[in-house]
Amino acid sequence: MLNYNSDYNHLYETFEWGLPEYYNIGVDVCDRWAEKEPDRIALYHRKEDGSVTPITYGQMRDQSNQLANCLKNASIQQGDRVALLLPQSPQTAIAHIALYKMGAIAVPIAILFGEDALQYRLEDSGATALLTSWDQVERIDTLRPSLPNLTHILTTDKAAPKAELFWKRDVESESCDFPPLATKPQDPALMIYTSGTTGRAKGALHGHQVLLGHLPGVQMPHNFLPQEGDLFWTPSDWAWAGGLLNCLLPCLHFGVPVIAYKFPKFDPEAAFALMAEMKVRNTYMPPTAIRLLRSVKDPGKRYNLVLRSFGSGGESLGREVVDWAQKELGIAINESYGQTECNLMLGSCADIGIFKPGAIGKQIPGHHVAIIDAQGNELPANSLGKIAVKSPNPVMFLHYWNRPEATKEKYIKDWLITGDQGYQDEEGYIFFVGRDDDVITSAGYRIGPGEIEDCLIGHPAVSLCAVVGKDDPIRTQIVKAYIVLHDDYKESAELTKDIQSYVRTRLAAHEYPREISYLNHLPMTTTGKIIRRKLKDQP
């Protein structure tokens, strides 16, 4: 745990992990609190009708024990994979806790997935059980012939004829006593599938230690969480590392209440209204959501916000968005960096002066991050190379599920390579340039899409954008931009020229987009990351 200290160097140099011999996430984030403060609020469940129900640690302990007993009676054992196809809800948190206490492996799956993506994850993981809502059962049932391992479906809200178990009938009738398994830090606990930006999704298997590995990377960008009065909300799906490991589980560990609320679709006005109504002190949002917030006029004046910390990650925000937040909301957005396999090892903390526009931040205490070459050698300052993390490290995945070769390819010597390009300046700040295959080579220049996208988003016509390299016989590649316009702008040759001139005069002649295509929407993963490979496939 990080204690507040304005001296970053002291924080970094004195930090030690000190992992215990035995550690169980479920016990840590629930039973530990329930034993000493059973009435402490863990969650606030906000429903669509606006009502809010508090959920205590004592209630979560009892209900997670009931669920563990129910699943055990259904022959779910240690090491079995159990899929969770659920939105933000108390049952989702309770299910995670129960599975960890059983020694089973939780496999969260985003509810927005289509049938192909859902079938692939259930089949690849070999899930033996699935927890979901009744309205998902029909489409799951059509997949069951290809899922021989899936023996039980448990619905959390209503009974369904094709689901073997129902929460109110089969879970609530069980005993509230369950002896949690004495797991070790490296025992498997959680498998999150990668977002699929660079190919078929892979199951990244994590041990119980993954939560401990996340804690300093949550504390620093959130200005040393926990502080008195903290209350956390994120629009990020709890099925992803961003929602689950950056928000829900760390907050439960620290005793910080979390708001559970299912947005049918992210709405920037509704997001501001919720944060004002619930008096949210801490939030984490992906860059796409923050860019949508910019469409709201005068949010700082119209909404009574009490934000203490504002975190973001997943993609580079860019200077334009950071400046907007400071001006309109009076708050610094602290960026953090990581990926499903190894998360939150870089970050910012404006409160202690670790903040530089355009940079991700510095190494989070406990992590050794460097820019390396293809042979695993650390590169000098301002050299473009691979962003890599030294192993071993508790935040790192154990391996890819059933993919030993892919696991091996993830490392150069004892460096885990992120697949991202970047550089580190003389002060130790690390800058993200782009994915290895996103960096554009044009007329001898190596160009990262992030800087151009940051510039484009500053143009009044541009709502969202993505930049890729397009093959060119003369320049090797040219810069091509795909743009979603604001509603009050229309595509035209004049607008294209204006946008090109806007970038050329602000960046450089070799960086402006020589081609621009206008789209109604950009291809994105369910976590809000742009899938540039799909854009590269377009003419």
For 303-358, the pLDDT digits (tens) are 999 999 999 987 778 788 899 999 999 999 999 999 999 999 999 999 999 999 88
Q: Categorize the per-residue pLDDT at 196 as very low, low, confident or very high, splitting at 50, 70 and 90.
A: low
Spatial separation of the C-alpha atoms in residues 203 and 401, rounded to whole Å? 5
What percent of the chain has pLDDT above 90? Answer: 79
Is 90 exceeded by the pLDDT of residue 529? no
State the pLDDT at residue 384. Answer: 92
State the pLDDT at residue 185. Answer: 98
Residue 209's closest CA among 192, 222, 190? 190
Residue 425's closest CA among 370, 382, 379, 385? 382
State the pLDDT at residue 266. Answer: 86
440-536 folds as: GMP Synthetase; Chain A, domain 3 (3.30.300)
Q: Helix, strand or coil for residue 393?
A: coil
SS3 per residue for 99-120: HHHHCCEEEECCCCCCHHHHHH
CA 427 to chain centre: 27
Mean per-residue pLDDT, 198-208: 85
Q: Centre a 10 Å sphere on the Cβ of residue 404 and count the other Cβ atoms it contains.
A: 9
Provide the mean pLDDT of the chain: 93
From 77-91, 92-106, 142-156, 518-532, the region with the lowest mean pLDDT: 518-532
State the pLDDT at residue 525. Answer: 72
For 5-21, the pLDDT digits (tens) are 899 999 999 999 999 99
What percent of the chain has pLDDT above 70? Answer: 97
Q: Categorize the per-residue pLDDT at 275 as very low, low, confident or very high, splitting at 50, 70 and 90.
A: very high
CA 342 to chain centre: 11
State the pLDDT at residue 475. Answer: 73
CATH class, range 58-207:
alpha beta
C-alpha R_g of the chain = 23
- Please spell the DSSP secondary structure of 49-61, one letter per residue: TS-EEEEEHHHHH
Greater confidence, 318 or 429? 429
Spatial separation of the C-alpha atoms in residues 200 and 272, rounded to whole Å? 35
Q: Which residues pair with 378 in a beta bridge?
A: 372
Question: Domain limits of the chain?
Answer: 58-207, 440-536
Is 80 exceeded by the pLDDT of residue 197? no
- Please spell the DSSP secondary structure of 168-230, one letter per residue: IIIITTS-S--------TTSEEEEEE---TTSS--EEEEETHHHHHHHHHHHTTTTSS--TT-
- Please spell the DSSP secondary structure of 419-467, one letter per residue: EEEEEE-TTS-EEEEEETTT-EEETTEEE-HHHHHHHHTTSTTEEEEEE
Q: Categorize the per-residue pLDDT at 526 as very low, low, confident or very high, splitting at 50, 70 and 90.
A: low
Spatial separation of the C-alpha atoms in residues 146 and 179, rounded to whole Å? 35
Is 80 exceeded by the pLDDT of residue 439? no
How many Cα atoms are found within 13 Å in the side-chain-facing hemisphere of 73?
Answer: 15
Q: Which residues pair with 53 in a beta bridge?
A: 45
Mean per-residue pLDDT, 233-246: 94
State the pLDDT at residue 449. Answer: 81
For 107-150, the pLDDT digits (tens) are 999 888 878 889 989 999 999 999 999 999 999 999 999 999 99
